[in-house]
């Protein structure tokens, strides 16, 4: 079992020296590129490649959080502790929409 915090700590040990050098804006842009790659992988039916792209998006999200000294596990618990943050139900009972905007 891997906790969200221990994964974020591993990313810190692995990459914080590089992330610091690149900075917040560069690290965010890299995250965006990983999300683009995830989108491309969705169009192919290769689960192994897809798993790698999911891992990359999570890794860059953790790197960005590390640069901001933000604890991802706390952020997740705060917003999605045990219910939908909007309707306060589990499962979510919000009116269904297909798109955010």
Binding site for a second copy (CB under 8 A): 1-5, 7, 10-11, 13-18, 21-22, 24-26, 28-35, 38-39, 42, 47, 50-52, 54-59, 61, 64-65, 68, 70, 72-80, 82-84, 90-92, 94, 96, 98-101
d(CA 88, CA 94): 9
Residue 27 CB, nearest distance to a second copy (Å)? 10
Smallest separation, CB 23 to a second copy (Å): 8
Q: How far is the CB of 40 from a second copy (least distance, A)?
A: 11
Q: What is the closest distance, in whole angstroms, from the C-beta atom of residue 70 to a second copy in the complex? A: 6
Can you tell me the distance from the alpha carbon of 84 to that of 92, in angstroms, rounded to the nearest whole number?
Answer: 5
Retrieve residue 72's tokens. Answer: 């991802």
**23 is written with which tokens?**
């900075």
Residue 90 near residue 82, CB atoms below 8 Å: yes
Contact 34/53 with Cβ under 8 angstroms? yes
């Amino acid at each position: 079992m891997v906790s969200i915090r221990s994964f974020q700590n591993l990313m810190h040990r692995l990459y914080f020296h590089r992330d610091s050098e690149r900075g917040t804006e560069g690290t965010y842009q890299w995250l965006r590129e990983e999300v683009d790659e995830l989108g491309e992988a969705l169009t192919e039916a290769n689960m192994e490649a897809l798993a790698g792209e999911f891992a990359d998006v999570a890794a860059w999200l953790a790197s960005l959080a590390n640069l901001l000294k933000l604890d991802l596990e706390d952020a997740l618990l705060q917003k999605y502790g045990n219910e939908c943050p909007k309707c306060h139900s589990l499962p979510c009972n919000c009116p269904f929409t297909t798109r955010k905007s």
